[in-house]
Amino acid sequence: MSIIRSTAKIGVKWMTTALVALALVACSSTRPPAPAAGSSTDYNYKIGPGDNLSIVVWRNPELSMIVPVRPDGKISAPLVDDLNAMGKDPTTLARDIEKELGKFIRDPIVTVIVTGFVGPYSEQVRVVGEAARPQTLPYKQQMTLLDVMIAVGGITDFADGNRATILRASENNQQYSVRLKDLVKRGDVSANVDMKPGDILIIPQSWF
């Protein structure tokens, strides 16, 4: 009798797991597929903590230097103390530095060049779940889903790639379905889509 009861319990547990899996598949199938074209051609890179900036002050080499963006998003340079850089593009930051230097030198001309790219957290692309190397990636112009998968080393053997989704922060956290298995395992380039700044790629585990 105990063997029969144990077998029955196992059967019920398996059925429950299967029903949960089917429910998840049904829920995921209701999400719209990610738009193939999503990147914008007028995207401007925004500076974030961890970036390295080369600040060049024309005719003032003693004021030119390479500075890191601190974790608080600010920079410090000669004659410039605690200037906020996070979320600004290089041109905007250059104009802000000119205003600060204008207090000490006449008509400064500043160029800011980003030499190490991280970007603000709100712009980074995150990959979680059953990726070979889940990680955060700096967004790049015209970045695609395939580019992301190459960077993270593909998906694991336990991934349910065709149930993966993109959570798009730029569209009020709209969630789209993507076909990672078709793209990565079968080479179906029709499953490739553009990424957007702040996207989160979620790769679930297969239930079977």
**Is residue 7 very low, low, confident or very high in pLDDT (cuts 50, 70, 90)?**
very low
* Averaged pLDDT for residues 142-165: 97
Q: What is the pLDDT of residue 199?
A: 97
The answer to whether residues 165 and 128 touch, using CB atoms and an 8 Å cutoff, is no
Tally of domains in the chain: 2
Q: What is the pLDDT of residue 36?
A: 86
Task: Count the Cβ atoms, other than its own, within 10 Å of residue 117.
Answer: 14
Q: What is the pLDDT of residue 39?
A: 61
Given a cut of 90, whether residue 172 has pLDDT beyond it is: yes
What is the largest distance, in Å, between two alpha-carbon atoms of the chain? 94
Given a cut of 90, whether residue 116 has pLDDT beyond it is: no
| 188 and 128 within one domain | yes
| 137 and 86 within one domain | no
* Averaged pLDDT for residues 75-102: 96
| 127 and 56 within one domain | no
| 127 and 198 within one domain | yes
Element (H, E) at 146: helix 145-152
Which residues form the domain of 70?
52-116
